Amino acid sequence: MSVTLGEPVPDFTATATGDTSVTLSGLKGKHVVVYFYPKASTPGCTTEGGDFRDRKAAFDAANTVILGVSRDGLRAQENFKAKQGFNFALISDKDESLCRLFDVIKPKKLYGKEHLGIERSTFLIDADGKLAREWRGVKVKGHAQEVLEAAQALHAG
């Protein structure tokens, strides 16, 4: 089962930073950005997270929650969040349940060897829990701003 544009996103509960868990149904009434990144504390992921962090007030004004997700363990996520001053929850998806739900595990090449990893992807879920937008194969530069504009448009109706 995977998410489909315009359809409700299946409810999920995930372990997050700050000794919390996040449940999608618990966020009903808010728009939700779920962005997947390959690895905590790497250059592209640090830049992307910082871009979302720096726009959090604008996302808040658009009634939108930001959630970052990777396969890193909770301790790595806590360290990444603290070091970068991220003002939103990071989810540890070690069992890849969210990665599979959003279909973001793809073959990747590193130093000529193929492996399975997270394809940088972002999903915007509307206040009713339906998938409103998706971005796959994301390039970091300008991405958080594009997602913010989509969230603002969604919020404006």
The full set of domain ranges for the chain reads 13-156
Q: Are 102 and 123 in contact (CB under 8 A)?
A: yes
Q: Which CATH number fits domain 13-156: 3.40.190.10, 3.40.30.10, 3.40.50.720, 3.40.50.300?
A: 3.40.30.10
Q: Which amino acid is at 5?
A: L
Residues marked active site are found at 45
Counting as low any pLDDT under 50, the low residues of the chain are none
The DSSP code sequence of 62-116 is TTEEEEEEESS-HHHHHHHHHHHT--SEEEE-TT-HHHHHTT-EEEEEETTEEEE
